[in-house]
Amino acid sequence: MSGKTYRILLLCLAWCVTAAAQEPEMPMPGDFRDERIYSVITSRFFDADEENNYYNYERIEKGDPHYRGDFKGLAQKLNYIKNLGFTAICITPPVENRGGLDFMGFNAYDWETFEPRLSSRDFTYADLLKSAHSNGLKVIQTLVVNHCSNFGIRNHYFIPRLPLKFYRGTLKPAWPYVFNFGDYKHKFRMNNDNPCAPEWFKDFRYRDPWGAGPLKDPVTGATFPADDLHPERFFSTNESDLQPDWFHREGWLAAGEDLVVTRVQRAHLDANSIDLATDNWHIKRFFAKVVKKYMDLGVDGVRIQYARNSDRRDLVHMVELWRQHKPEFYVFADVAPVLDGFGKLTGEEPSELVPWWYTRNTPSPFEPDLAGSSGIAVMDYPLFKSFASNLSMGHFSGIGNIIKNDWLYADPNQLVNFFHNYDVGPENGNLTRFSGETWKAACAYNLMWTLRGVPMLLMGEEIEFMKGMPQVCVLPTDLVSQTGKAYFGDNLTDTAMNQTTAHALAQHVKRLNQIRAAVPALSRGSLENGNEFVSGISFVRNYNNAESYAVIGLTAFIDQDISVSRVLPGNYIDAVTGESQQVATDSRTLNFSVKANSAGIWVLAGPGKIGADGEFLR
């Protein structure tokens, strides 16, 4: 069956060779194009130390503490990640957090202290970094600069509220909290030890563990414990009390405001996330100090979470300060758009809230190339959002419509490609882990590993972990163990490891990593000469004027004959099958067959077949 028979769209788009692509490349700071990233939720990955396990006071399930995995457990399983062929790990924020459900690390209380619930007596975050580097793995640390916890910032700022151990209300504590919501592991049940707190507050840190009182609220004059309590004094923040050099004071983000730039970037996200004044140099200097500490420990880069909620200019200023200390420091941003991710150029979403904007310095939302690179890479949300209507359905249609907008980004090869993110999956609504047939996921990985951009896999994807389950808790009765954030470590025990590594997708990802590592064009090459078919897609990757050159054909659901014209003449070898053929100067056409759900990766003067055949690459 000829590829020409099925060809329904010929796309030049951004797939053509440009004059700029022929010039010597100038990589941006923190060049991560050659990396392959494995993303880890540290608290749910692998438990090597039961002593640091901890239950948050929401959604408690005995036997499954929210803080279960730890730095030591992650270090013990680095070989698993390395053997899959990854070169870097991206971990959830490792700093100390406070909140009702803070195991993901997104509500920082102390950016200068690493989370004790992830640390062990004999193993610290610094030890994890050393272990990763000794295994040849880089470490990317997720960082939230947009907000802090509603406890304030230890040693810097106390947000006035009452100690939780005095709360008596409709929200009832469950085991192991028993009598109150104070820290059940602390002798005096205090979970706020901020030295900036007033003396009356600090006094209770060392007495009255059961909140028997009396405690007189200095704001309302009420005495606690009491049945007619003011719950906002325990759980809410009066923003008029906040100092503007630390915080924005513009209220809370409301439903329907997610397309209003000033609201998204200056309002508090929720009661547990108090918006920092990132436009204030006080905050920028604060983060320059803490990120310098991470660099000195050996962190190779950061992933900025909630980037959309901070003005691009503020993030660019921060990154410039960081790179004064370490010019090669890698930074990518998680800019999660509401719509298609292309901004005003294609729809109604403001460009100031979409990924491409954060890669540029342009002052105009309508002229991306008016100015050069911001030095920040981004996650490719437009590609991810397209998966719901193509690869999740088992075909490649519409991928070209995403690629044609690559000109928007400062450097498309620095995009981070993903099939799952912490809270979202690739199907309609983006609410669950992928539920479809395994071959469809394999096709998605074939694309992500051969297309421009850096591939990133979320822990568990390689074995279809929690397939089809919600990515976040929604109903009050939902438990973490029933979501995509369930504990993964049971799959990494000595007994389970053979079955885990033998999974068809794990073997598939491992081989894709081997091929990508051996063919520089797949990570660094310009994207050229693209075509879509009913059952597949083809394109060329050309690095440094054919220093490395590969012709790629991907298929889904049926075997496919593919013909790619206008390629360079010479001898090609398929990295998947090992077959070879000569392309003549007069024809400049490469004809090859690809089995259903597989790939053809024909490399000019290539190294030969790479890796062993599996269920999806054969």
At 102-130, the pLDDT tens digits run 999 999 999 999 999 999 999 999 999 99
Is it the case that residue 16 has pLDDT exceeding 80?
no
- Identify the pLDDT of residue 30: 79
Does residue 462 contact residue 455 with C-beta atoms inside 8 Å? no
| Domains, the chain, with CATH or none | 3-26+521-604 (2.60.40.1180)
At 579-618, the pLDDT tens digits run 999 999 999 999 999 999 999 999 999 999 999 999 999 9
* CA angle (382 as vertex; 380, 384 as ends), nearest 5: 70
Q: What is the pTM of this model?
A: 0.95
- Identify the pLDDT of residue 102: 97
What tokens appear for 188 in the block? Answer: 């005096």
- Identify the pLDDT of residue 27: 59
Sign of the torsion angle spanned by Cα atoms 121, 125, 131, 134: negative
- Identify the pLDDT of residue 11: 39
State mean pLDDT over 418-433: 97
- Identify the pLDDT of residue 18: 33
- Identify the pLDDT of residue 19: 30
**Residues 86, 37: Cα–Cα separation, whole Å:** 6
State mean pLDDT over 439-450: 98
Is it the case that residue 250 has pLDDT exceeding 70?
yes
Task: Characterize the bridge pairing of strands 560-565 and 589-594.
Answer: antiparallel
Structure-token match 């769209």, residue found: 9
- Identify the pLDDT of residue 534: 77
Share of the chain above pLDDT 90, in %: 91
What tokens appear for 574 in the block? Answer: 């398929």
Neighbours of 440 (CB within 10 A): 21
For the chain, give me the number of helices (H) and strands (E)?
A: 17, 25
Cβ contacts of 493 within 8 Å, gap of 6 or more: none
At 538-572, the pLDDT tens digits run 999 999 999 999 999 999 999 999 999 999 999 99
Neighbours of 38 (CB within 10 A): 26
- Identify the pLDDT of residue 131: 98
* Phi and psi torsions of 515, nearest 5°: -70, -45
Share of the chain above pLDDT 70, in %: 95
Q: How confident is the model at residue 227 (pLDDT cuts 50, 70, 90)?
A: confident
Q: How confident is the model at residue 20 (pLDDT cuts 50, 70, 90)?
A: very low
**Residues 349, 337: Cα–Cα separation, whole Å:** 8
Q: How confident is the model at residue 230 (pLDDT cuts 50, 70, 90)?
A: confident
At 156-166, the pLDDT tens digits run 999 999 999 99
* Phi and psi torsions of 158, nearest 5°: -105, 125
Burial of 514 per CB tally in 10 Å (0-12, 13-18, 19+): middle
At 377-386, the pLDDT tens digits run 999 999 999 9
- Identify the pLDDT of residue 8: 33
Cβ contacts of 540 within 8 Å, gap of 6 or more: 15, 525, 527, 528, 529, 530, 549, 550, 551, 552, 564, 567
State mean pLDDT over 295-313: 98
Is it the case that residue 26 has pLDDT exceeding 60?
no
Question: 97 - beta bridge partners?
Answer: 108
State mean pLDDT over 340-359: 95
Average pLDDT, the chain: 94
Please give the DSSP secondary-structure letter assigned to residue 600. Answer: E
Is it the case that residue 209 has pLDDT exceeding 90?
yes
- Identify the pLDDT of residue 533: 86
Q: Got the DSSP string for 137-171?
A: -EEEEEEE-SEE-TTEETTTEE-----GGG--SSS
